[in-house]
């Protein structure tokens, strides 16, 4: 009996055309990619709204990649699914092909595995004290909703319960999930324009940090704080003082003492290096507008190098 079943399924597999094979494979890949992007999008939004205790980073999370993925992948998935469904209407026996059943079972297995694995991770963070209760509950709920919908959809497909009306209902549910998540993401994390401003601010902090270390290096090498930023130009090392990428103007600088200085920049919005409100190791927190960072060089931590230049032979 088992031999007959194997031969029957093998025969069905052999009947599968190249078009059917690649349509099914492409649909499954699009489904997996879309689900992963959707979950990543939701999780990033939750991380911004309910940050973890050990979550240290400058600025805001970016959801651009996840949103771009959904914009491309989700419509393609709907189109290919519709093409496959039409082929089932024309040729109902295609539903019994081994390829179709194997892909459905694989999807059910992966959906269950992803759900179990993510739940283990979330529960670990919760028990370890790394996740706020609200964030934990929201992530758990999002997992059950997204992966649960995939699981139920594939079960309906396996049991031949996907009537035209039922399929339309699933489409509406998917559209609500995707569009709702994108809208929620932009409302929490910010619009593309605000994200661009955040990236400009992040680049400004990076530039100021580089300039700061060049000033410290100048102090250690020469024993003085530079009068202007042009004193840091070094064609040998290749260092060139960066400009503000947003305005294409120099950053503000002022020598305020023998071992102190100020670095300044115009910021689009306020930001902290730590979302939890605890003191950060680098004091680069700022408000919007023109902000200056006062620095005083500790000669014990950054001593001046003495007699380090070898004599030039005559």
Of residues 38, 53, 49, 36, the one with CA closest to residue 190: 49
CA–CA distance, 47 with 294 (Å, rounded to integer): 32
Write the pLDDT tens digit of every residue in 212-250: 999 999 999 888 999 999 988 888 878 889 999 999 999
Separation in Å, CA 120 to CA 55, 79, 113, 273, 305: 20, 34, 11, 29, 53
- Mean pLDDT of the region 136-161: 84
pLDDT, tens digit (0-9, with 9 covering 90-100), for 189-206: 777 777 788 888 889 999
Task: Please tell me whether residues 212 and 77 are part of one structural domain.
Answer: no
Same domain for 221 and 158: no
The total of structural domains in the chain comes to 2
Put simply, whether the predicted model's pTM sits higher than 0.75 gets the answer: no
The number of residues making up the chain comes to 314
Range scoring the smallest mean pLDDT among 52-61, 93-102, 135-144, 213-222: 52-61
- Tell which of 190, 215, 244 closes a domain: 190
Do the Cβ atoms of 232 and 241 come closer than 8 Å? yes
| 152 and 46 in a common domain | yes
On whether both 49 and 176 belong to a single domain, the answer is yes
- Token pair 């911004």 is found at 48
Spatial separation of the C-alpha atoms in residues 276 and 56, rounded to whole Å: 8
Which domain does 228 fall in, by range?
195-296
Q: Are residues 156 and 120 in the same domain?
A: yes
pLDDT grade, residue 273 (50/70/90)? low
Q: Are residues 180 and 238 in the same domain?
A: no
Q: Does 302 map to a domain?
A: no
Report CA-CA distances (Å) from 71 to 16, 65, 101, 191, 276: 30, 10, 28, 15, 32
């Amino acid at each position: 009996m088992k031999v007959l079943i194997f031969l029957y399924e093998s025969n069905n597999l052999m009947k599968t055309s190249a078009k059917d094979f690649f349509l099914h494979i492409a649909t499954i890949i699009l489904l997996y990619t879309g689900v992963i992007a959707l979950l990543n999008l939701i999780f990033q939004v939750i991380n911004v709204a309910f940050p973890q205790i050990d979550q240290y980073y400058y600025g805001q999370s970016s959801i651009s990649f996840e949103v771009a993925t959904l914009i491309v992948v989700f419509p393609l998935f709907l189109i290919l699914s519709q093409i496959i469904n039409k082929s089932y209407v024309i040729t109902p026996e295609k539903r019994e092909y081994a390829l179709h059943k194997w892909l459905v079972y694989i999807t059910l297995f992966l959906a269950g595995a992803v759900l179990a694995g993510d739940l283990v991770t979330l529960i670990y963070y919760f028990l370890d004290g790394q996740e706020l209760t609200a964030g934990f509950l929201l992530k758990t709920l999002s997992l059950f909703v997204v992966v649960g919908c995939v699981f139920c959809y594939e079960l309906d497909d396996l049991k031949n319960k996907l009537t035209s009306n039922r399929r339309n209902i699933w489409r509406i549910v998917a559209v609500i999930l995707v569009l709702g998540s994108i809208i929620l993401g932009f409302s929490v994390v910010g619009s593309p324009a605000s994200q661009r401003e955040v990236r400009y601010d992040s680049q400004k902090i990076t530039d100021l940090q580089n300039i700061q270390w060049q000033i410290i290096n100048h102090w250690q090498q020469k024993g003085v704080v530079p009068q202007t930023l042009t004193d840091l130009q070094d064609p040998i090392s290749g260092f060139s003082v960066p400009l503000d990428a947003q305005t294409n103007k120099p950053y503000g600088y002022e020598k305020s003492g023998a071992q102190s200085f100020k670095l300044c920049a115009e910021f689009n919005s306020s930001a902290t290096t730590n979302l939890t409100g605890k003191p950060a190791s680098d004091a680069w927190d700022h408000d919007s507008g023109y902000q200056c960072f006062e620095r005083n060089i500790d000669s014990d931590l950054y001593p001046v190098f003495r007699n380090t230049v070898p004599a030039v032979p005559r």
